[in-house]
Structure 1
Amino acid sequence: MYLSKEKKAEIFAQHGGKAENTGSTEGQVALFTFRISHLTEHLKKNRHDYNTERSLVLLVGKRRSLLDYLKKKDVVKYRELIKELGIRK
């Protein structure tokens, strides 16, 4: 499995403040970014996996809406997060 409990806790600890803070916007965006990069690599190898492609599009949309929310609430945190994660926008 590509996303273990330890990896998930590490992502939330790094971006959400602590590992138990799974509801933070920054932590969720970081987790979505990790999952998006994994699915992108999968689709490079398996071009005709349309279910995964659809999941990827939905995940990108969720991340975009969370980033829009964060931008509306705190622009400084938004800019820091996209710079740290390497997200274009």
Structure 2
Amino acid sequence: MDERIIQFKLEETNETVDFEVYDQIEYGGHKYLLVIEAGLEDDEEAEGVILRQIGEEDDDLIYDLIDDEQEYMMVLELFRENADEYDLDYLKED
């Protein structure tokens, strides 16, 4: 498996989904990943997801979505500052 491709196991369904890691940063003692679903890398309308590492289990790292909007916006801005090869737009869901 390509080192830029990681697998996530969805707890609800036990389904595995492949994501490509576009970028990673550390902020406030936490590690964050910017990922996009594998296979959609060339789609200009593809949506990225920011995940925060919340723990480790055996050899697996555990990531989750960011619940806090202020934390999310801060991390999003840090990714924007590092973004040389991609554009980030914030889409707020209702």
Asked if Structure 1 and Structure 2 have the same fold, meaning a TM-score greater than 0.5 normalized by the shorter chain, the answer is: no
Of Structure 1 and Structure 2, which has the larger fraction of its residues in strand? 2
Of Structure 1 and Structure 2, which has the larger fraction of its residues in helix? 1
> Which fold has the larger relative contact order, with Cα–Cα distance below 8 Å and residues 6 or more apart in sequence?
1
| TM-score grouping bracket, smaller chain normalisation | 0.3 to 0.5
Q: Tell me the TM-score normalized by structure 1.
A: 0.33
